[in-house]
């Protein structure tokens, strides 16, 4: 997700440069000149020009590291695999599902990076890259791709490259040979995407075959019925730019038709849109609504379409949606999904990382206070986990632990700094740089985080990392004189590609008829926070931004913020807020009375547990019934979370010897026996050795090679515990079992844990970890190349400074001082492997759920040999009938403790044995009981869809 640059300066010259200077109705882009209004906040300390320049140069070095490794090891493949130092070619690697739909065998990363090269002043490299794209890239491949991803990354990349190419050509030094070749390729690609729009609604199919479209049997597409709102609503900038660059109006017409259809299908009473829509009927398939995954860039493109195209209808639609977002979804500092037909009630208790773009969009809108609040909350989450987890709960626990190096938070940081001039945001950017270098940098690039809790890596470096992350970080620290062109002459697409603002007056073939007001009467208050009201935003108070952030400084670690309840919001100090599941105690008579009012009954079981059953018709009122539905849904989610927390988390294998120096961290499965690495914070460190026999199922024949080493062995032919006993007897200090299933990878398979043999395993005292085949081969390849390879087995990756305390290593590994030199001489490979590493950070409470699943084809008295338990298995269910909701098995003695209690601001681990993952929904609006019951089946369906939600 990306924002627009400023639009204060002139356009591309001539009459093109004046039309877009429209009256300041909303153009919050003018905020980018507001930095002069706000002085440095006291205590924050203005960053010196030398420090800013040093950080800018550091960003350049990081970009060079990532880009050069892509070009050396991956090009012409779509993406770099930074752990195995090779290109990701679709069809040659295990499928990652929808993630691979971005790959079309068209050198994705290079195209996505074109205009970034110019922003970073790498004009020679840009010229070479454009020549490679023109010469090598084929857009006519028989391959099915995502329309959305191909549009924002490839079409946007070609158009962004063309935009800066003609700018450089006009300047007269570079690209003098350029004759619109990138634009010709963009037009070719645009025509290849058009068959996806062959639907009665005008909404595109989510996928298209680049060679055959959607209608031929060879296309293997055209059967889909659903698409996400963002997928259909994030086309207008690229398609309109293509139309206006080429004079071919059809692209803009198709994109406008899709946007018009979504607008017409919005929920009329709430003015919200759902996540998923049927492309044929227009029915909402998923009725939850937020600003994150599935919807995000739809809102972004409405505002930016107004800026780029000058059509007031887009502005009015955006303001209508924005009013609904701030009314229902925004619960500062949180942004929580709601149901479009019952917007007063939350649809889930977690947030996804894609919403991190929203503070930047709010800056463009001009609504600075909530932007500061949400950004600060996100920053506190980052400070806790080093990166923003893919999803996290409202009490800031990890929900999905991955982090694919997303740039949205850096984007919002850039826009907030441009809006406020507050040096605090420069320090935030510095933190992002340091974390990327300390935790994501590997010898062949930067690796996505497999799990932010352990610090383990995934063999993945998405194209958006180069396209967006370095662009925003460089612009954050760059002064105007550092740029070779005026960035404010361009708008950023959602992939941060540059489109010139003078396009607003070029080839205007589309009618500007305003159809918005046919549907809604706009509230003038929507326009209160608009530019250039910098005096309102910053009322001569240099402490403005700091005063907004200050109450949120400890929001993650020391408090459990709760949004104002709807009742409190409407009644002031009114009635007490409803009972929340996290606060419920089965032994509290007051709580039982509240449950009775809500229509919730407790059934005591013989084993000491209680079942919760809700009968909406037995509630004291419709509001109480809705509170009961909320309580049941919260109890279900607490149950799911607690089930995960009872199980073993993933572990980390960190390669600490030359040339890795702790920068490569592999996701490892834990064992149900042996040393518990979470209780031995220093972990186990040692050189690795391959055992004989390799399966470890009999006495080790090379004990001299294994003694005081970490033994490597292959999975299969006997129990894990038997392998552990054999290597322990040979003197090994730890063991790593490598999967024998060729091509298996933690990228595509759920985490597994090694089960015991059904006997007492207290005699096993060494740690044992499991690596999938791909991760194991990374270690085996390192042995072949470097012979002596040292690793650290731990519960989570350790800080480099801790690992190498007292040893000579390259400075940038510890303090991000990126002067890479003489790495070979900095660390002796013969240093003692017994040196203890101190714990860098405490482990998160969130872990993956584990359930045992024996391996097929192997047997034992108790469990199968090498049996593995999928860490994310989830077989819970809930039975619902006759408008009743039911939660089985809450332990009365161990009822869920509050996550935060009065007098104690430290979050407590939530405890419950209620079992279910199906979800039900509710509404706080006062409405007749019949209405509540009529919505019941719709609620159940919506929650079942949410269970399948993936980013």
Q: In the structure encoding, which two tokens stand for residue 581, read together?
A: 């599941």
Strand-strand pairing, 684-690 and 884-891: unpaired
Q: Which residues contact 845 (CB under 8 A, 6 or more apart)?
A: 397, 645, 909
Q: Which of 408, 451, 645, 747 is catalytic?
A: 408
Q: In the structure encoding, which two tokens stand for residue 271, read together?
A: 């003015």
Collapsed DSSP state (helix, strand, coil) of residue 78: coil
Cα–Cα distance list, 109 to 66, 74, 81, 443, 695 (Å): 11, 9, 12, 18, 40
CA gap 761, 182 in Å, rounded: 64
Q: Which of 93, 149, 352, 913 is catalytic?
A: 149
In the sheet with 288-289, reading across from the earlier edge strand, the strands are 288-289, 338-339, 342-346
930 flagged as catalytic: no
Length of the chain: 951
Residue the block writes with tokens 């259809």: 261
In the sheet with 600-604, reading across from the earlier edge strand, the strands are 600-604, 609-615, 884-891
300 flagged as catalytic: no
CA gap 328, 34 in Å, rounded: 29
Phi and psi angles of residue 813, each rounded to the nearest 5 degrees, phi first: -70, -30
DSSP string for 312-365? HHHHHHHHHHHHHIIIIIEETTEE--EETTEEEEES-SEEEGGGGGHHHHHHHH
Q: What is the DSSP letter of 844?
A: P
CA gap 322, 343 in Å, rounded: 14
Collapsed DSSP state (helix, strand, coil) of residue 556: coil
Phi and psi angles of residue 539, each rounded to the nearest 5 degrees, phi first: -75, 70
742 flagged as catalytic: no
Is 234 annotated to bind a ligand? Reply is no
CA gap 93, 102 in Å, rounded: 14
149 flagged as catalytic: yes
Q: Which residues pair with 712 in a beta bridge?
A: 690, 736
Collapsed DSSP state (helix, strand, coil) of residue 480: helix
Collapsed DSSP state (helix, strand, coil) of residue 881: strand
Q: What is the DSSP letter of 284?
A: E
Q: In the structure encoding, which two tokens stand for residue 431, read together?
A: 């933190």
Residue the block writes with tokens 């937020």: 290
Q: Pseudo-torsion of CA 206, 212, 216, 217, nearest 10°?
A: -90
Q: Which of 101, 296, 367, 373 is catalytic?
A: 296
Catalytic site positions? 149, 296, 390, 408
Q: Can you say which residues are annotated as belonging to the binding site for Ca(2+)? A: 494
């Amino acid at each position: 997700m990306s924002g627009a640059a400023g639009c204060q300066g002139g356009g591309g010259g001539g009459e093109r440069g004046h039309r877009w200077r429209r009256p300041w109705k909303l153009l919050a882009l003018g905020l980018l000149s507001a930095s002069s209004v706000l002085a440095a906040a006291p205590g924050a300390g203005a960053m010196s020009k030398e420090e800013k320049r040093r950080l800018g140069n550091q960003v350049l070095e990081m970009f060079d590291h990532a880009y050069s490794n892509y070009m050396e090891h991956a090009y012409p493949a779509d993406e770099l695999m930074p752990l195995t130092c090779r290109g990701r070619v679709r069809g040659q690697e295990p499928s990652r599902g929808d993630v691979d739909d971005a790959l079309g065998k068209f050198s994705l990363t290079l195209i996505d990076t074109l205009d970034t090269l110019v922003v970073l002043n790498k004009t020679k490299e840009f010229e070479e890259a454009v020549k490679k794209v023109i010469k090598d890239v084929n857009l006519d491949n028989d391959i099915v791709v995502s329309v959305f991803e191909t549009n924002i990354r490839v079409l946007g990349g070609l158009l962004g490259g063309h935009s800066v190419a003609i700018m450089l050509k006009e300047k007269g030094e570079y690209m003098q040979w350029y004759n619109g070749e990138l634009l010709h390729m963009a037009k070719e690609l645009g025509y290849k995407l058009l068959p996806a729009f062959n639907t009665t609604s005008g909404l595109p199919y989510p996928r298209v075959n680049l060679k055959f479209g959607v209608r031929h049997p060879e296309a293997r597409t055209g059967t889909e019925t659903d698409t996400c709102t963002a997928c259909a609503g994030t086309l207008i900038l690229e398609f309109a730019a293509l139309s206006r660059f080429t004079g071919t109006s059809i692209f803009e017409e198709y994109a406008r038709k899709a946007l018009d259809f979504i607008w017409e299908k919005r929920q009329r009473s709430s003015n919200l849109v759902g996540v998923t829509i049927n492309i044929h009927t227009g029915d909402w398939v998923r009725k939850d609504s937020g600003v994150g995954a599935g919807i995000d860039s739809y809102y972004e493109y409405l505002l930016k379409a107004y800026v780029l195209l000058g059509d007031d209808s887009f502005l009015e639609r955006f303001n209508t949606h924005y009013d609904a977002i701030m009314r229902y979804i925004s619960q500062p500092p949180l942004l929580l999904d709601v149901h479009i037909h019952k917007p007063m009630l939350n649809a889930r208790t977690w947030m996804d990382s894609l919403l991190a773009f929203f503070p930047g969009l709010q800056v463009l809108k001009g609504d600075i206070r909530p932007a500061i609040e949400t950004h600060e909350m996100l920053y506190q989450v980052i400070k806790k986990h080093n990166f923003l987890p893919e999803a996290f709960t409202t009490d800031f626990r990890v929900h999905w632990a991955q982090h694919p190096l997303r740039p949205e938070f850096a984007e919002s940081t850039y826009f907030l700094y441009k809006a406020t001039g507050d040096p605090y945001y420069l320090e935030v950017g510095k933190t992002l740089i340091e974390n990327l270098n300390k935790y994501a940098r590997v010898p062949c690039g930067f690796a996505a985080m497999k799990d932010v809790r352990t610090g383990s890596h995934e063999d993945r470096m998405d194209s958006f990392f180069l396209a967006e992350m370095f662009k925003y970080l460089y612009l954050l620290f760059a002064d105007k004189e550092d740029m070779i062109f005026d960035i404010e002459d361009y708008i950023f697409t959602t992939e941060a590609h540059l489109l010139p603002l003078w396009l607003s007056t070029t080839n205007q073939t589309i009618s500007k008829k305003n159809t918005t007001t046919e549907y809604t009467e706009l509230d003038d208050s929507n326009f209160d926070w608009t530019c250039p009201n910098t005096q309102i935003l910053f009322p001569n108070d240099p402490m403005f931004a700091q005063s907004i952030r200050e109450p949120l400084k400890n929001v993650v670690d020391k408090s459990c913020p709760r949004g104002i309840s709807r009742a409190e919001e409407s009644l002031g100090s009114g009635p007490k807020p409803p009972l929340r599941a996290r606060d419920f105690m089965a032994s509290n008579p007051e709580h039982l009375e509240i449950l009775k009012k809500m229509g919730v009954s407790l059934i005591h079981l013989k084993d000491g547990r209680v079942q919760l059953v809700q009968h909406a018709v037995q509630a004291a009122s419709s509001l109480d019934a809705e509170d009961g539905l909320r309580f049941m849904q919260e109890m279900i989610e607490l149950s799911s979370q607690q089930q995960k927390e009872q199980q073993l988390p993933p572990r980390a294998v960190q390669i600490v010897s030359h040339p890795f120096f702790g920068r490569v961290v592999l996701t490892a499965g834990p064992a149900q026996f042996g040393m518990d690495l979470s209780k031995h914070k220093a972990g186990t460190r040692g050189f690795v050795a391959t055992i004989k026999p390799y399966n470890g199922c009999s006495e080790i024949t090379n004990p001299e090679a294994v003694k005081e080493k970490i033994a490597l062995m292959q999975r299969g032919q006997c129990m894990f515990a038997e392998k552990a006993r054999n290597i322990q007897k040979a003197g090994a200090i730890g063991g790593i079992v490598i999967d024998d299933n060729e091509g298996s990878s933690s990228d595509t398979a759920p985490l597994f844990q090694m089960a015991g043999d059904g006997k007492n395993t207290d005699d096993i005292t060494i740690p044992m970890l499991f690596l999938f085949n791909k991760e194991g081969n990374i270690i085996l390849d390192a042995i072949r190349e470097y012979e002596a390879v040292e690793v650290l087995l731990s519960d989570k990756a350790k800080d480099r400074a801790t690992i190498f305390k007292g040893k000579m290593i390259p400075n940038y590994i510890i303090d991000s001082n990126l002067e890479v030199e003489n790495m070979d001489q900095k660390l002796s490979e013969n240093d003692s492997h017994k040196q203890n590493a101190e714990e860098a950070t405490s482990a998160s409470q969130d872990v993956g759920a584990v359930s045992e699943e024996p391996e097929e084809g192997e047997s034992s008295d108790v469990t199968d040999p090498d049996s593995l338990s999928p860490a994310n298995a989830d077989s819970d269910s809930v039975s619902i009938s006759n408008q009743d909701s039911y939660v089985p098995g809450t332990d009365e003695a161990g009822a869920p403790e509050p996550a935060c209690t009065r007098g104690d601001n430290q979050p407590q681990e939530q405890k419950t044995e209620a079992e279910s993952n199906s979800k039900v929904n509710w509404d706080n609006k006062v409405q007749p009981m019949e209405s509540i019951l009529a919505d019941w089946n719709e609620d159940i369906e919506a929650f079942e869809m949410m269970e399948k939600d993936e980013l």
